[in-house]
Amino acid sequence: MSATLLAVALSLVSAVAYATAAVAQERLAARLTDGGPRVLRLLGSGAWWASVGLNASAALLHVAALKYGPLTLVQPLGALTLVAAVPLGARLAGRRVTRLEWRGTGLTLIGLGTLLLTASGPAPDDTLSLPEALTVAAVTAAAIGVLSRRGARPGLRHATASGFASGVASALTQTVTVAATDASGPLLSARVVVVALLVAAFAVGGLFLSQTAYRGGLGAPLAVVTLANPVAASAIGVALLGERLRGGAGGVFLAAAGAALAAYGVVLLTRTPRGPAPAPGSLPSIPGQPEAAEAVAGEALPARRG
């Protein structure tokens, strides 16, 4: 299997794991709308820890994908998280996927396929220097602070901040994986250690920001997270890592058309109807995560309307 195909395969499995975790987070967020310190209640929730485990598994798969594929290839595939979350969320809500949702799924996949035609490239070999990584982290932290300022209503602002945090974490992760596996340098250089700590900080921050955003529902916040993530990572890849789209001007036009089509598909997917959750015990088990499904079933309440 070529490096590009391996990166795509790892990204697909990662997207499914992220989708399962997002659905669990959203259903838990609907329950934790009132009462008690929110962080403490999350830490005491088995369902939340199950979603953290799924997120961690997805992140490891994503790290592996970044070892074999460039940011401009791996990050757009993150949109498949939304595609997978829609039918899974519908199933857990006890309803069928609508025709509009299938249409959005199809358009998103076609748009992503178009993007992949121009983004496919060799395995990454360039990395951020320590000053570059610190600058990226500082700018991102400032943007997140503005978007998630104290008192802001949970929703798309927090989702955008979560997407930026996750996208930057991915870009920094690529630097860690490439630098740490470079035979010409030390395994644990100062740069690798510092950037790894930044990755952990942004990953955890993105997780809590998304949990906050999902208090307003799953569709629109997850769509914004899904779009903001590759925008942030790809901007770093193009501006600082020398990544380019294939095909010259024609490739740029094709990528823009694919991005527009995928964005339209994502917009359709945000119009997800919300219904009551089925009774505990009626949910299907999650492959490889029976405890997670049981926890979600035991803790989820009907989604809020309005």
Q: What is the mean pLDDT of residues 94-120?
A: 79
pLDDT exceeding 70 applies to what percent of the chain? 76
**134-143, 148-157, 205-214: which has the minimum mean pLDDT?**
148-157
Cα-based torsion angle of the residue sequence 237, 240, 246, 250 in order, rounded to the nearest 10 degrees:
100
Strand partners, 289: 286
pLDDT at 222 over 50: yes
The owner of tokens 């992140």 is 59
SS3 content of the chain, % helix, strand, coil (to 5): 75, 0, 25
Helix 156-180 / helix 219-240 crossing angle, nearest 10 deg: 40
Tokens of 204: 């955890």
- Residue 223 domain-assigned (yes or no): yes
**120-124, 184-188, 192-196, 268-272: which has the minimum mean pLDDT?**
120-124
- Cα–Cα distance for residue pair 176/174, rounded to 1 Å: 5
Whether residue 256 contacts residue 117, with contact meaning beta carbons closer than 8 Å, is answered with no
Most distant CA pair in the chain: distance in Å? 57
- Cα–Cα distance for residue pair 121/65, rounded to 1 Å: 13
- Closest C-alpha among 79, 90, 189, 95 to residue 133: 189
- Residue 94 domain-assigned (yes or no): yes
Encode pLDDT of 272-299 as tens digits.
555 444 444 433 444 444 443 343 333 3
Cα-based torsion angle of the residue sequence 17, 23, 27, 33 in order, rounded to the nearest 10 degrees:
90
- Cα–Cα distance for residue pair 267/222, rounded to 1 Å: 11
**pLDDT attached to residue 144:** 93
Q: In which band, very low, low, confident or very high, does the pLDDT at 67 lie, cut at 50, 70 and 90?
A: confident
- Residue 295 domain-assigned (yes or no): no
Whether residue 93 contacts residue 273, with contact meaning beta carbons closer than 8 Å, is answered with no
Residue 286 DSSP class: B
Encode pLDDT of 229-246 as tens digits.
878 887 888 788 777 667
**pLDDT attached to residue 285:** 41
- Residue 209 domain-assigned (yes or no): yes
- Residue 300 domain-assigned (yes or no): no
Whether residue 230 contacts residue 76, with contact meaning beta carbons closer than 8 Å, is answered with yes
Domain housing 36: 3-269
Q: In which band, very low, low, confident or very high, does the pLDDT at 165 lie, cut at 50, 70 and 90?
A: very high
Report the mean per-residue pLDDT for the chain.
Answer: 76
- Residue 306 domain-assigned (yes or no): no
Q: Which of 86-90, 175-179, 208-212 has the highest mean pLDDT?
A: 208-212
- Residue 106 domain-assigned (yes or no): yes
* Total structural domains within the chain: 1
**pLDDT attached to residue 281:** 40
What is this structure's pTM?
Answer: 0.70
Q: What is the mean pLDDT of residues 55-67?
A: 84
Q: What is the mean pLDDT of residues 65-88?
A: 78
**43-57, 103-117, 135-149, 277-291: which has the minimum mean pLDDT?**
277-291
